[in-house]
Amino acid sequence: MQFNRKDLLGLEDLSSESIKLILDTADNFKEVLSRKIKKVPALRGVTIANVFYEPSTRTRMSFELAEKRLSADVINFSKATSSVKKGETLRDTLENIQAMKVDIVVMRHGSSGAHKFLSEFLEASIVNAGDGQHAHPTQALLDMMTLRERWGTFTSKRVTIIGDILHSRVARSNIWGLTKMGAKVTVCGPPTMMPAAVEKLGVGGVKVEYDLRRAIREADAINILRIQLERQDATLFPSMREYFEVFGISNDVLKSAPEHCIVMHPGPMNRGVEIAQEVADGKQAVILPQVTNGVAVRMAVLFLIAGGKVEENDLQ
Ligand code: CP
């Protein structure tokens, strides 16, 4: 199967077959990451610009690493040291980057829809590394890769997403990806942090629960979200301490979930706010394996967007 897409804007418009193709390709590339020489020539001659208008540790570094592992030429843009400071618009900035003969732009931007806007006139491919509250497709794909490694299938599995659903692009992309692949999703968090009509998101909708212990009772995995204070223009909960008491995941709360339940967090974590220290470092957590899989998933996305089909040569 060919990917046949110019851009990756979100999972909402990808078929389950395309998602499976990305995950299968990522499995192939993961093997490269454990070699002594972690590099293949698959994207030799391809130029990629990483354009980050918002802070990032994991996404930015793992995209750059993925690009270098595939032998692409890489350039980096950061808002703080760019001519955005002199008033240059998003469109002008991206058209100038494209004029340098860049093939793929990996972008993070604070405005939902920024990537869709650019994709309509840029010839370069756009890969969404997070847009506002809308989507973070490669985060959901790496979360799904981590789950599929452990489960082998998504059918009949339940993932409970906990926390600030309202501001979370990670939640939205996970809901679309997981429900397309046959998993069931529950969302749980303060009513002030639940988007309108949340129950209709994804394929077939999601279950909404406000009681944390009830929400995780049948969960095969929980995905714990950070409270995005930078996106809140009002106080949506009384205090961090009270948030932890009602929606924080401690070892005691985790006992309400099945013993096999996997604990995920997209990072960055606020220990003691949404997740207790002992849970973050506990044996059910797969938070660092998620980060490792992020490199493999981003290699797969870039490779497929560039028109690739994995041949034996690409892995040598
Ligand atoms: N998960 C995630 O997007 O982390 P960063 O903001 O550090 O990229």
What is the per-residue pLDDT across 70-124, written as a single tens digit (0 to 9) for each?
999 999 998 988 999 899 999 999 999 999 999 999 999 999 999 999 999 999 9
Neighbours of 222 (CB within 10 A): 27
Atom of ligand 1 nearest to the CA of 57: 7
Under the banding of pLDDT at 50, 70 and 90, the label for residue 234 is: low
Neighbours of 219 (CB within 10 A): 25
Name every residue whose Cβ is closer than 8 Å to that of residue 299 and which is 6 or more positions away in sequence: 25, 26, 29, 32, 66, 69, 70
Q: Which whole number is the average pLDDT over 127-151?
A: 98
Give tens-digit pLDDT for 85-100: 899 999 999 999 999 9
Rounded CA-CA distance 298/305 in Å is: 10
Q: What is the pLDDT of residue 27?
A: 97
Give tens-digit pLDDT for 202-212: 999 999 999 99
Atom of ligand 1 nearest to the CA of 129: 3
Q: What is the pLDDT of residue 312?
A: 63
Q: What is the pLDDT of residue 188?
A: 98
Q: What is the pLDDT of residue 229?
A: 66
Q: Which domains does the chain have, with CATH numbers?
A: 16-135+291-315 (3.40.50.1370), 137-290 (3.40.50.1370)
Q: Are 94 and 53 in contact (CB under 8 A)?
A: no
Q: Are 89 and 110 in contact (CB under 8 A)?
A: no
Q: Are 162 and 264 in contact (CB under 8 A)?
A: no
Ligand 1 geometric centre to CA of 57 (Å): 6
Ligand 1 geometric centre to CA of 223 (Å): 14
Q: For ligand 1, which residues put their CB under 6 angstroms from it?
A: 56-60, 130, 139, 266-268
Ligand 1 geometric centre to CA of 237 (Å): 23
In percent, the amount of the chain with pLDDT more than 70 equals: 95
**CA nearest neighbour of 29 among 307, 305, 303:** 303
Check whether 232 has a pLDDT greater than 70.
no
Give tens-digit pLDDT for 256-286: 999 999 999 999 999 999 999 999 999 999 9
Rounded mean pLDDT of the chain? 94
Check whether 41 has a pLDDT greater than 70.
yes
Q: What is the pLDDT of residue 239?
A: 82
More confident residue, 233 or 296: 296
What pTM was estimated for this model as a whole? 0.95
Give tens-digit pLDDT for 236-252: 777 888 899 999 999 99
Which residue from 54, 139, 264, 287 has its CB within 8 A of the most atoms of ligand 1, so it is best to mutate?
139
Q: Whose Cα sits closest to atom 5 in ligand 1?
A: 56
Helix axes 58-69, 16-33, angle to 10 degrees: 70
Rounded CA-CA distance 61/285 in Å is: 22
Q: Are 267 and 55 in contact (CB under 8 A)?
A: no
Q: Whose Cα sits closest to atom 4 in ligand 1?
A: 58
Q: How far is C-alpha 80 from the geometric centre of its chain's CA atoms?
A: 23
Residue 98 CA neighbour count, 13 Å, CB half: 15
